[in-house]
C-alpha cells in the first residue's frame, strides 16, 4: 500500500487565519465560526470537539472546500482556497481530500467495490490499477470478502468501513471525518479507530475528526475544543497546549 503524496512536512498542511462563517436564517444572521485560526501539520491525528452548534462541522466543511468563509482565509497545502476556480476546487476535493460522513453517503445501487472505486473512475485511473488499489484498500479495512455487497446488505460498521475505504483509496493529503463513530456500537467504533490509527501511522494520512465521542477524543493526539464557534482549547498529547 502506497503512502499519500509527498508534502512539505515543515509547513502547515492546513492553515485557517481569523476565519468567520455566517449564515442567513430568515432575517437573522447566525455566526457559526468566529475569529478561528488553526495550523494542522501533515501526519496529525486530531479531533474537533465541542457541543452541538459549536462550529465543528462548519470547520470541516471550510477545510474541505464544501463551503466558503465569510471572512479570513483557508489554505490547504499552501493554496488559498478563495483563489481557486470551481474546477480547481473540484479537483482539490477529488484528489487531495477524503471525506467520511456521519451518514456514510454511499451510493445505494453500487457495491462496496464500486463505491470505493468511484473517485478513481473520475480520476481516469486505468481499470486494472483501479481494481488492484480498491481490493488492497478493502482488504486493509477488512472487507475484501464483501466487495460485491451493496450498502443495504452491510451492517452500519461495514458501511462506515466502505466510506473509509472510499476516502483513502485516492491517497489523499487529509481525511475529514464528521462524527465517524456516531452510528455504530462501541466495539465497532473502537475497531474503526484502530483502523484509522493504523492508516495514519503507516500511510501518514492526516485525519481530522469532528466528534462528541469521548473515545475519539481520548485517541486523538491533538484535541481542539470549540465553543460558540471559537477556539477555546488546543491540547496535544500529554496535555501540552498547542500553538494558536
Domain range annotation of the chain: 42-70+85-236
User: Which pLDDT score is estimated for 143?
Assistant: 92
Q: 115 falls in which pLDDT band (50, 70, 90)? A: very high
**In the CATH hierarchy, which top-level class contains the domain 42-70+85-236?**
alpha beta
pLDDT higher than threshold 50 for residue 206: yes
| Contact by Cβ (8 Å): 47, 214 | no
Measure the CA angle with vertex 224, ends 83 and 214; round to 5°.
135
Share of residues in the chain with pLDDT > 70 (%): 93
State yes or no: pLDDT of 76 exceeds 50: yes
Mean pLDDT of the chain: 89
pLDDT at 1 over 60: no
Contact 160, 183 (CB under 8 A): yes
How many residues can be counted in the chain?
A: 244
User: What grid cell was written down for 70?
Assistant: 465569510
The band of 198, judged by pLDDT with boundaries at 50, 70 and 90, is confident
pLDDT exceeds cutoff 60 at 5: no
C-alpha pair distances (Å), 135 with each of 116, 122, 168: 9, 18, 12
What per-residue confidence (pLDDT) applies to 243? 41
pLDDT: which is higher, 154 or 244: 154
**Mean pLDDT computed over 79-90:** 95
DSSP label of 130: H
Amino acid at each position: 500500500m502506497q503512502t499519500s503524496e509527498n508534502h512539505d512536512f515543515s509547513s502547515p498542511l492546513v492553515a485557517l487565519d481569523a476565519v468567520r462563517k455566517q449564515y442567513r436564517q430568515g432575517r437573522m444572521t447566525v455566526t457559526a465560526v468566529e475569529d478561528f485560526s488553526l495550523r494542522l501539520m501533515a501526519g496529525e491525528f486530531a479531533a474537533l470537539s465541542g457541543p452541538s452548534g459549536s462550529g465543528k462541522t462548519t470547520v470541516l466543511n471550510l477545510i474541505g472546500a464544501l463551503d466558503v468563509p465569510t471572512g479570513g482565509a483557508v489554505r490547504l497545502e499552501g493554496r488559498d482556497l478563495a483563489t481557486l476556480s470551481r474546477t480547481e476546487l473540484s479537483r482539490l476535493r477529488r484528489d487531495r481530500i477524503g471525506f467520511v460522513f456521519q451518514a456514510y453517503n454511499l451510493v445505494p445501487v453500487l457495491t462496496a467495490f464500486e463505491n470505493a472505486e468511484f473517485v478513481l473512475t473520475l480520476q481516469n485511473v486505468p481499470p486494472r490499477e483501479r481494481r488492484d488499489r480498491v481490493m488492497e484498500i478493502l482488504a486493509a479495512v477488512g472487507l475484501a470478502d464483501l466487495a460485491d455487497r451493496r450498502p443495504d446488505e452491510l451492517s452500519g460498521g461495514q458501511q462506515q468501513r466502505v466510506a473509509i475505504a472510499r476516502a483513502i483509496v485516492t491517497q489523499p493529503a487529509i481525511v475529514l471525518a464528521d462524527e465517524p463513530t456516531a452510528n455504530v456500537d462501541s466495539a465497532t467504533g473502537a475497531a474503526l479507530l484502530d483502523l484509522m490509527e493504523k492508516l495514519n501511522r503507516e500511510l501518514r494520512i492526516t485525519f481530522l475528526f469532528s466528534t462528541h465521542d469521548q473515545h475519539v477524543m481520548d485517541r486523538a493526539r491533538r484535541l481542539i475544543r470549540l465553543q460558540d464557534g471559537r477556539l477555546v482549547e488546543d491540547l496535544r498529547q500529554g496535555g501540552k497546549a498547542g500553538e494558536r
